[in-house]
Structure 1
């Protein structure tokens, strides 16, 4: 498991992302390769479910709002959006038109990497293509029809023509249910529980791991080498520190606002006394 994949898995658990959101995050990751057609096909199928559609599009727009070194998030999100426009629900195009400004602004996306290469050019060109496609309804209709036929033909009737993903609810998706990923305690063991200050969380996870699914998750998550085990622990502790720092910043911000309010009230009181 790569470092980026491990970090992404940690964030998926910490933020309790849904199955649909996790798939979009994987398809639009910072990994130096494009999203697989099979993964994009799964995401396209999910857009026919009302709940999953909202989760998919919400994560896509979030990725499109990234910038700088995360240019791959933006470029892959545009690539995924192009695929969804052609093979996903009709609602994808409708929402894209409602948020056309977000895509249009990406035609001016700028980012130069450390080697002086203009990586923003990829984003600008992809955004331009999408804007043109959205403006030409007839062309979108034709490309959509062709893409859907190709997708159905590639499915090859393996599903027996039944169930109908198109326009129906994908059978593998359960609205509102979070993915059954291993918990943080299962991923990182007792050390993470202690760093979070809740040793009982590991005990409860360990108890639940007696089921076959939990045992399978534990087996997959268990580090294969001492180096990977150390990396997992470091990432878990880093995430714990990050959460603690965020809480501290929020508290400091609240105290600062309270102090400003008190100072302003004192000044107004003094001003009234002088008058």
Structure 2
């Protein structure tokens, strides 16, 4: 699936799609509560109120750059907290290449944050060793985000993610640590949206008078536009996460800004009373 923002093209590459089984992420999003938001159906939820979500990467092509935003789960990884995320064997790189994006054509990898489902394809297993998947790219990590996870030891699954999907790229000398208001190029900059993780960033696209927002995990699902206080169980700071949602949705509501989430597809944010709703541009 592709979209255009001025002179910038965005291509979504899906690694995994799910229906339901998301209560562990958004416990407040019960089937009954979701059915009270009919605008979610059919693009973002089923008639029964089960959430539709995906794990995907976004290729952002500017006139001068080919940027991969977030890199999914990856193959062959171990020690993940969700069983189906362990030891995966999928043709994601072949799917990328078939879409016109072989790994050696990517010049920039930008991770909105360093959670398991956004860094996995940073590396691949070759001869028993984790090596960078995109050796011709500079990998951009938020400085705040990176330093938090570098020093984090509390949960073994989080440490495993850092050790197999972040540290090898650092060790290879391919990483640039950026501030959360960094400008990558004329058309692309990042916006600080902390709360889901300490250094979470969203991506702003501005080109030829048009705007796009790759919101990352500031919201896992559009239902959080209607309920800003619905937080993911993995939010590092729930109050800050809700505040970031309010700030970012207020900024772009009722504008023609194309918005694409880290786990949902494209649409426009509309004000709806004291909160917001999302108008889909296709599933």
Normalised by the length of structure 1, the TM-score is: 0.24
Name the structure where strand makes up a greater proportion of residues: 2
The higher radius of gyration belongs to: 1
Normalised by the length of structure 2, the TM-score is: 0.23
Name the structure where helix makes up a greater proportion of residues: 1
